[in-house]
Structure 1
């Protein structure tokens, strides 16, 4: 038998990306069960007439390579976010010192790129074996995107209003300031509860704290 006829199928079966599911598909197609042992030779393959299924085995090998490529791309996205630092800086005013987001531009750009990559992977016909992981990270990135957008918007408004409410004339209107603070915190609690970022216990705790602050100011 011409060795050149055997070479393509040997290369296909030597594919390092072949997983157990691929070997099961190969055995299903040829209708024979075999094990990959050290003493398994080309002669064993010829005995089970595997050359007759060379086209199907080549397709399975190609599928295994494409699936592994998608998995590698997905794990690069995952590793990127696991090593991404979310940098905060100290914002100091006359009345308070708090942590705020330094700059979200780089994070947002990275987020958009990752979401585009996830969508491309999900659209591939080779994505089925890792679909559960794709769906999980698509949900995580979408949730983080919504949270970050609301956080940045809230921070911008707070940075604008904070010096206004820190002014002496406004500070003397204690009840009004506490009421405004209470309403702001309540709205934030409702927002984050809807986004499932915090539990209802945390929202109730913040509400009680607001009521205590308001009561103390009135007294």
Structure 2
């Protein structure tokens, strides 16, 4: 009779994508600066490599620094990546991050392939993106680019809050007349919601599990 023995498999460690992308970005950037001295003179292939590795690097950095210096460094990196991307044309940008192959955006009132292609057609496929880089990235339908823009807005909001201002989302909802809330903890460690308009405090009530019943 054959006996089967169960042995533990070898677990593969997940690659450190942030380290890989940041190394690629830094090495390419340092080489380019040494050769061209300024970003405006970077050649097309270098720009493509930097935009690809830079966006991936920002998206892979999951931990968000809460100190002012860390936020400013992250925001500076994002600004540098946008500056490099601004030297591309929409046609060139599509070779770095292709438009998502989603075609039902009109049905769900969302951006899709057709929406993005129409925007690019009106913008000019061979026109340098330049100062319109933020608008272009916001209108561009690609998940990787979308996460990058979310990261950018999150950092900008954190910096504004440190300066005593409101985050971008809070400011937007305020302009729309929508009340926003801030979730925090009281001195007893319990979660509370603070109404950002009135300052009113509410306790966070967690839903009772379905399996939990009150015994009378």
TM range (shorter): under 0.3
Using the size of structure 2 for normalisation, the TM-score is 0.28
Using the size of structure 1 for normalisation, the TM-score is 0.28
